[in-house]
Amino acid sequence: MLSIDDIVAGGLCIGCGLCKSIAGAERIRMVMTPEGRERPVAVEPLSREVLATINAVCPGTQIEGADPKAIPDDAETDLIWGPVIPSTLTIAHASDPVVRHRGAAGGVLTALGQYLLRSGEVELVLHVKARPDAPVRSVATVSETPEAVLDAATSRYGPAAVFEDLESVLARGRPFAVIAKPCDIGAMRRMAEVDKRARELLRYGLTLACGGASDLIKSLDVLKRFHVVEKDVSLFRYRGYGNPGPTRVETTGGRSFELSYEDMWGNESGWRIQPRCKICPDAIGEAADVVSSDCWPGGAPEGEDDGFNAVFARTRAGVSLFERAVTSGALTVVRSIGIRDMDLFQPHQVRKKRAVWARLQGMREAGMVVPAVERLRIADLAATNEESENEREKHGAVTRARAGRLGEPPAVAVG
């Protein structure tokens, strides 16, 4: 069994906050580290029972694919993309032009969250938004109205502890959906296995394809570039208001600055993604009901467009939601696509999924702890690689692990 410090030092923590919710705020505190990551610190000893629960659900220790019982017979399981229901594999967007414009891409996740509230199927949507008092940072939010879901639209690329106070959501006893990153949705599914309330109340897990969560430093560097100090920021939007839309900073003094998507994310080596993301066996949401991603051929936008997502459902619940959202007019489908189109839209996901097994071998060889990975086909995928590719990935991981680049310093707080 791993301690909280072991998980963090092993580079396995993504800062979801679930351990804090399980142990209680009096035992675990989330801190912002000097590296710009939200990390848990145990301020009181944890009982064996609490630590065992955390080890069973933490997305740093356990990573699992879809529950086979949730997958309908007409799903096809692709070696890269996992279970996908072909009839739902489409280019789509939110029908409401405001949602489409303000959403990260086509606003599909926001439209689905709003649809679920309007239909009464869920009463709460748990997701994240910019922190009102510090908009460079992100905070978990529980939306009870379609307007609130819209307020939290678009991507928050930096740290975002969506489950920091999951306990209070469960305590309300009301049906809910989670919109979050793939690792978060996986953790939520495991939580449903150990917590009866989560099992009964969680109705949907909706996710995005995820290139990795960046360190807060990435966002603070944007401020530096414009000579803005964080306390003066009144708005920090990574994208949206267009597809992709600019990264926009506004200050309380009325100044505003914009960076293009290309400037912000054009160079993959400058993404500053967290260590856990570099070995992520599921950045494509295999435990989710519906996945919504960007759909730029080659993986990068050539300019602005009206807003489109590549969308697919994986589960019975997901296909039913997708179909009802289309029929009710919440979503507009532009055209059907094939699964190889997803490779074209997400080349970095394909590269990572193929490399992960060898990277984990390398970490193991360097004496690091690795997460338990199940139902994600990473060994099968590695078997389709050239032996030399696997060796290169493994050797790279051994080298990075020995240089300390796959682990993290112990979590200490800064401001």
Ligand X SMILES: Cc1cc2nc3c(=O)[nH]c(=O)nc-3n(C[C@H](O)[C@H](O)[C@H](O)COP(=O)(O)OP(=O)(O)OC[C@H]3O[C@@H](n4cnc5c(N)ncnc54)[C@H](O)[C@@H]3O)c2cc1C
Footprint on this chain of ligand SF4 (rule: CB under 6 A): 4, 7, 13-19, 40, 54, 58-60, 181-183, 210, 212-213, 276-277, 280, 283
Read off the DSSP letter of residue 267. S
Q: Which does 401 bind (CB under 5 to 8 A by kind): ligand SF4, ligand X, none?
A: none
Between the CA of residue 18 and those of 138, 189, 306, what are the distances in Å? 16, 12, 36
Q: Is 253 exposed, middle or buried (0-12, 13-18, 19+ CB in 10 A)?
A: exposed
Q: How far is the CB of 158 from ligand X (least distance, A)?
A: 7
Q: Is 315 exposed, middle or buried (0-12, 13-18, 19+ CB in 10 A)?
A: buried
Q: How far is the CB of 49 from ligand SF4 (least distance, A)?
A: 16
Q: Which spans in 329-411 are helix H? A: 339-345, 347-365, 378-383, 387-402
Q: How far is the CB of 10 from ligand SF4 (least distance, A)?
A: 10
Q: How far is the CB of 388 from ligand SF4 (least distance, A)?
A: 25
Between the CA of residue 98 and those of 112, 268, 327, what are the distances in Å? 14, 30, 19
Q: Is 260 exposed, middle or buried (0-12, 13-18, 19+ CB in 10 A)?
A: middle
Q: Which of 8, 160, 279, 280 binds ligand X (CB under 6 A)?
A: 160
Q: How far is the CB of 53 from ligand SF4 (least distance, A)?
A: 10
Q: Which of 36, 16, 169 is nearest to 28 (CA)?
A: 16
Q: How far is the CB of 174 from ligand X (least distance, A)?
A: 18
Q: Where are the beta strands (DSSP E) in 252-365?
A: 256-259, 290-293, 309-313, 331-336
Cα distance between residue 201 and residue 123, in whole Å: 10
| Residue whose C-beta lies closest to ligand X | 211
Q: Which of 293, 332, 361, 390 binds ligand X (CB under 6 A)?
A: 293
Q: Which does 249 bind (CB under 5 to 8 A by kind): ligand SF4, ligand X, none?
A: none
Interface map 331-370 toward ligand X (x if CB under 6 A): ---------------x------------------------
User: How big is the site for ligand X, counted in residues (CB under 6 A)?
Assistant: 35
Q: Which of 169, 180, 202, 233 binds ligand X (CB under 6 A)?
A: 180
Interface map 223-242 toward ligand X (x if CB under 6 A): -----------------x--
Q: Which spans in 58-145 are helix H? A: 97-102, 108-118
Instruction: Find out whether 408 and 37 touch, Cβ atoms under 8 Å.
Output: yes
Binding site for ligand X (CB under 6 A): 103-110, 113, 127-129, 152-157, 160, 162, 179-181, 184, 208-211, 213, 240, 292-294, 309, 346
